[in-house]
Amino acid sequence: MVHPNPKVAVSVPAEIQSRLEVAGLRRTLATRAVLGLFLARPNGGLTHAQALAALTARGLNINRVTLYRLLDRLAGCGVLQRQTDDQRTWRFSLAPLSTDASPDVAPRFECDACHRQFPLLDASEPTRIATHHLFQALAQMGHAGTRVDLAVHGTCASCVEPGAAQEPRA
């Protein structure tokens, strides 16, 4: 069955959207269609050729080379994962989302002088993105990172300049 209109309502999870944004990937019709394809089958892997056939069946007129590049870019930014099978054919599937890893990521600052710890909640988002890049680098080496413990050490405001702390702490 061929759908003349390839526009399908795809709700893209926030984490995938942020990965696309970090990678500077525009959400074109082709990108949305490819994401829809993989979101519809979270467990199944697709080869280049199978993805092309599935998209064509959905009515998307996409160039083979364009699709190959798009799959590679989606794998590069961690939205898809890529594995070779026994026949040494690349198979693409949706990369696992790490939503429950996020709370771990909030970095903290520890003063080496007074040993107080300050959570850096404002830095969570950039840290999450940096963490994602670290995991990606690990994945390319075949390692599976699960958690990042990030602490910045230094001297806190009141130790740098004793008496300058704006608010007394309990």
Chain residues binding Zn ion by CB under 5 A are 111, 113-114, 156, 159
CB of 167 to Zn ion, least distance (A): 14
Nearer to Zn ion, 104 or 110 (CB): 110
CB of 108 to Zn ion, least distance (A): 13
**How many CB atoms lie under 10 A from the CB of residue 132?**
22
From residue 160, alpha-carbon distances to 67, 112, 122, 166, 170 in Å are 55, 11, 22, 13, 19
CB of 159 to Zn ion, least distance (A): 3
Nearer to Zn ion, 52 or 156 (CB): 156
CB of 151 to Zn ion, least distance (A): 14
**How many CB atoms lie under 10 A from the CB of residue 139?**
16
Nearer to Zn ion, 97 or 159 (CB): 159
Do residues 152 and 107 lie in contact, with contact meaning Cβ atoms separated by under 8 Å? yes
Quickly tell me which residue has 């699960």 as its tokens: 146
Nearer to Zn ion, 72 or 110 (CB): 110
Nearer to Zn ion, 113 or 134 (CB): 113
Side-chain half-sphere CA neighbours of 162 within 13 A: 2
CA dist., res. 127 & res. 135, Å (int):
12
User: Starting from the edge strand earliest in sequence, which strands make up the sheet with 46-47, in order?
Assistant: 46-47, 90-94, 80-84
